[in-house]
Amino acid sequence: MSESKAAMIDQLRKQMAAIPARSVGPARPSLAALTCARPSPDPDPNPDRGPEVRVEPSPIRTLPVPEPLAELLPHRGLARGSTVRLGGVTSLRAGLIASVTSAGGWAAVVGSPTLCLLAAAEMGADLRRCAVIADPGPDPVAVAAVLADGLDLVLLSLAGADVPPSRARAVTARARRNGAVLAFTEGRWPSTDLQLDARVTRYRGLDAGRGRITGIDLDIRAAVRGQQARHRTVTLAGRGGHVDWTPAATSAAAAAPLRIAQ
């Protein structure tokens, strides 16, 4: 390991040591607990009411996501300890940073110098809770692995790299042990728990190809491993310096072509 790489990792560990304990989020009721609920052993003065249901907390803990995106996911959030492949427009990454940091979590961006954090801030991100390593050096996976020890969400750009299965398993196990979500772009990870893709389907505010863009529609595709992919169209629209995620109106007109003024 080179001195510069060792110094970077040592500095990251010192900075993480100064961060308060990571948020674990509320426990969610499990489906198994609901289906296997049993009656209360105490006598019930009103037997017609039916048995009392006791709900046990689920071991699945999650990180928050924008509300329209939550409806596509089994646990309405990113399961802690999971790996996620992100594709498409960068608005998806900005939305995840905003959701996690605004809820009190900690995030890191590794190797994505072109990611616009202003967009994340307009979505409500607390950038004081987001670390940015624009140039992680020749081994961004090692930097991401260290960050997964203390942060909730790590966004990693692989810059086209193909991560070997043995190394991916080691890093994935590390993230799972620490309850971090490792999300990557621009490369190949051998096995992932979730794939999220977002593409622009419409520019709002344009009339016959002219006007001022007031929002965009995104087609979001969520594919959980072992399940059929689900789609939803959401609208990102600015209002008073803030960008909101909302379900797209079903009665929207067809997309207008975008013309660039010369």
- For residue 25, is pLDDT > 50? no
What is the reported pTM? 0.74
Q: Which residues contact 108 (CB under 8 A, 6 or more apart)?
A: 130, 131, 132, 133, 144, 147, 151, 153, 154, 155
- For residue 52, is pLDDT > 60? no
- For residue 145, is pLDDT > 70? yes
**Percentage of the chain exceeding pLDDT 70:** 71
**What mean pLDDT do residues 34-39 have?**
35
Query: For residue 31, what pLDDT is reported?
Result: 33
- For residue 180, is pLDDT > 70? yes
Three-class SS of residue 99?
helix
Question: Would you state the structure tokens that stand for residue 150, as one six-digit string?
Answer: 């203390």
- For residue 245, is pLDDT > 50? yes
Query: For residue 113, what pLDDT is reported?
Result: 79
pLDDT tier for residue 53 given thresholds of 50, 70 and 90: very low
Strands 78-79 and 62-63, by their bridges, are antiparallel
Query: For residue 45, what pLDDT is reported?
Result: 52
Domains and CATH numbers, the chain: 3-16+61-195 (3.40.50.300), 197-247 (no CATH)
